[in-house]
Structure 1
């Protein structure tokens, strides 16, 4: 793991409030600086680390998000009631370096965040992603399965696409304009505070629906709102079918599918009750 840039040591992880919080400048295998925050769970402390909080949840935000965005901070606050939490900003987002590849090389960002959580002493590390982050956690779980420090022990994907290049809704057509056009990338940089790479994918990365069959036996949860304006319900159903999930949201298969009535898209639409259910699933499954 390249958890810090060359010349740095553990002193670069500067504690902040609340007690036990750490801020890290992580280094991916392709040399991108990723800004990350570690927050202990709220069950109490024993020395420098929280007691009875062996699990760490790593949160992967959506496109144009960051570790500092209110919806991500709210998610972290709820999750901290169940486990320690690592939030980070994907490349091209927030204070992280590089430029966004909209779900491709972002698996490297997630991998180094998972490695950091393990380096801090957590023997069980799980991942949850929203929208673009939802596709990243699926690909990461498939690509890093097995006995590596970057593996995840359980994965939850919320509001993720099943396939690439989807333009079937107005919000996705707008997003493709932002990503693929020079004028759109200017809007992304100055209006959405997201720096987007100008190059097309080459090669095209493994899609979420192609990744899902490779995740087992790692526990998988797919969550999607029935009023998602970006991706209609055929996306989560494709993911669930590829995983052999129980479509009713039970535990009859190797994965679970939750279709949430009235929910819109990603972390902004996930209320605290749903976040608590996801956190409970992540910390109790497997």
Structure 2
């Protein structure tokens, strides 16, 4: 039980038994460990599983969107629909985004939001394999979550798309604009009213574990790093740094012609990610 952005008390009333076959999405607010209400949606996939066959074990994708996204954005719904061909899908809005409570900490406390979503997926499908897939800021969050959570909120496979390897990067014009949005009062006003994103005004203290520092702690959980060679936010030294930190444990796909995050992930790439997840987590 927790407080919604509108100040109402919210309790999840979703039954953990999802074996009825209903395709109606489930929507609720999930409480995080630090008391933030996270707007979350559970969509049943189109896959018919044979539970007696290990190779077709049920999969639930938990998708972590990029900065200024939210669960209702068309690009988030498109990606969720693509993954629904391979399993069930949990989408959610990070704190400070959309209808979720709190303010964005741009990748720090968001690990708690993802943990709540993964925990919900495990309650709804206790025998399923859970795959976290994150984009941009969400890509950094799935890496840190996998390194930090080895309990019931753990993940069985990790896919990080268009993620930074290190913090405070300002080497491209888009990232300089992002830093203006985060660090300047007028930028945070633009974020609030232009992007439906409420951003915390205080800096990190302490500075969280960086994605590159998190990656070695993920093993033996399967890890896929995906990045476009035309990413306008984070150049290719970021995925290469992550892959180097992963060593033999991680797999890197450097995609020719691809830009940044969800908008640049076409249906063919999403299908390949779905196939990878099915083979590693199934």
TM-score by length of 2: 0.90
Deviation at 1:9, TM superposition (A): 5.2
Match of 1:163 among 162, 166, 178: 166
| Structure 1 residue 62, shift from structure 2 partner | 0.0
Structure 1 gap segments, 5+ residues each: 47-51, 245-252
Describe the shift of the 1:226–1:79 C-alpha distance in structure 2 as closer, same or farther (beyond 3 A): same
Q: CA RMSD in A?
A: 2.2
Pairing 1:1-286 to 2, within 5 Å after superposition: 8=11, 10=13, 19-44=23-48, 54-123=58-127, 124-145=129-150, 148-244=151-247, 253-286=248-281
Q: How far is 1:21 from its partner?
A: 1.9
Query: 2: CA distance between counterparts of 1:57 and 1:202?
Result: 31
Q: Note the C-alpha offset of 1:4.
A: 9.6
Q: Taking structure 1 as the reference length, what is the TM-score of the superposition?
A: 0.89
Equivalent in the alignment of 1:248: none
Structure 1 runs, 4 residues or longer, greater than 4 Å off? 2-7
> Separation in 1 of the partners of 2:279 and 2:126?
15
Given that 2:140 and 2:163 are in contact with CA atoms closer than 8 Å, whether structure 1 keeps it comes out as: yes
Deviations 1:147-194 (A, max 9, x none): x11000000000000000000000000000000010100011011110
DSSP-derived class of the 2:251 partner:
strand
Q: How many positions carry a matched residue from both structures?
A: 268
* Cα pair distance change 1:9/1:114, threshold 3 Å: closer
SS at structure 2 position matched to 1:114: helix
